[in-house]
Amino acid sequence: MLAAESGNVKVIRSVLQLAQFDVNARDIRGRTALAHAVASRSYDAMEALLEVEGVDVYCVDEQGMNLLMHAARGGQVQMVDRFLGLGLGANINVTDIEGRTALFHAVERRWCDSDIVSALLKIQGIHLSV
């Protein structure tokens, strides 16, 4: 997880080659290596982990936040687009433990990214009343 948190793709790939760990292991906050890569805001780190067979793209941390929420909150347009392409927008109205959706996380940022908001608003069935 430390490798993922660093966002350093070379380190991540080196650790992945060892293949002596559970890519879906969780830290004390319920976050996986993939969630840490998203938090590091490194698209390449995220992609390196997405290449691992069996990686859980539907992981939710102890706050009820999924990867799409973390990417939206972090202002990561490329990551949001990638996760939507993986089907993570299928349940776009899912909320974290505080009742916030990915759209809410995107717009609550101090510098809201209109590209993220636009991408999320294009998803069929999105609720605007949260």
**Are residue 14 and residue 76 in the same domain, yes or no?**
no
| Global pTM value | 0.85
State the average pLDDT over residues 19-33: 87
Same domain, 73 and 39: no
Q: Which domain holds residue 9?
A: 1-54
Question: Per-residue pLDDT tens for 72-93?
Answer: 999 999 999 999 998 887 889 9
DSSP the chain: -HHHHHT-HHHHHHHHHH--S-TT---TTS--HHHHHHHTT-HHHHHHHHTSTT--TT-B-TTS-BHHHHHHHTT-HHHHHHHHHTTTTTTTT---TTS--HHHHHHHSTT--HHHHHHHHTSTT-----
Do residues 9 and 68 both lie within one domain? no
Q: Are residues 46 and 71 in the same domain?
A: no
pLDDT tens figures, 28-54: 999 999 999 999 999 999 999 999 889
**Which CATH number covers residue 113?**
1.25.40.20
